[in-house]
Amino acid sequence: MTIIAIGSDHAGYAAKEFIKSLLQDLSYNSHDYGCFDEQSVHYPEFGQKVAQAVSGAVCASGILICGTGIGMSIVANKVCGIRAALCHNTFTAVCSREHNNANILVMGARVLSFDQMAEITRVWLATPFAGGRHETRLAMIQEMERINYLYKNKGDVHV
Ligand code: RB5
């Protein structure tokens, strides 16, 4: 069963509820990691929950929404194995899947309309990774992640 992790902060809450019902209409299962109302919260908490669910393979992919999408992107990309893509239109949504094999879609609720978010989400979910030359680049990123993690934690590993 494919489960999509979804999360937002207060700025993205209404959009998250809207995208959740879209996922249901499209017959996707989703797991909501919060937030659960429009009270002011801190986006790193919810971004990390969704990113860890995807990184740990509890969910196949994720969707994160905050005001601009920037904060959620920064947070999600701190988690190992996450390729979170902030998408503003269907072109960036397609490229983020074909080229980057993005496993988390990030959108800004103060940037996009509900209709735009729905269109981006539909396209993002339907677009497969193109592989080929892009595999090499993703392998480079994975290696950088490994080296930088070791470097940060041990201080004695050099590229
Ligand atoms: C919340 O006001 C806002 O800072 C947040 O939703 C997001 O845009 C952060 O990047």
Q: Within 6 Å (CB) of ligand 1, which residues are found?
A: 9, 11, 43, 66-68, 70-71
Answer yes or no: is pLDDT of 76 > 80: yes
Answer yes or no: is pLDDT of 159 > 50: no
> How far away, in angstroms, is 109 Cα from ligand 1 center?
9
Mean pLDDT score, 34-63: 98
pLDDT of residue 150: 74
- Whole-number percent of the chain with pLDDT over 90: 91
Answer yes or no: is pLDDT of 81 > 60: yes
SS3 103: coil
**Identity (one letter) of the amino acid at 131?**
G
Q: Whose CA is nearest to atom 3 of ligand 1?
A: 67
Mean pLDDT score, 138-143: 96
Ligand 1 atom closest to residue 10's alpha carbon, by position in its atom list: 6
Mean pLDDT score, 89-97: 98
Ligand 1 pocket test target in 38, 39, 46, 72 with most atoms within 8 Å of CB? 72
Mean pLDDT score, 84-92: 98
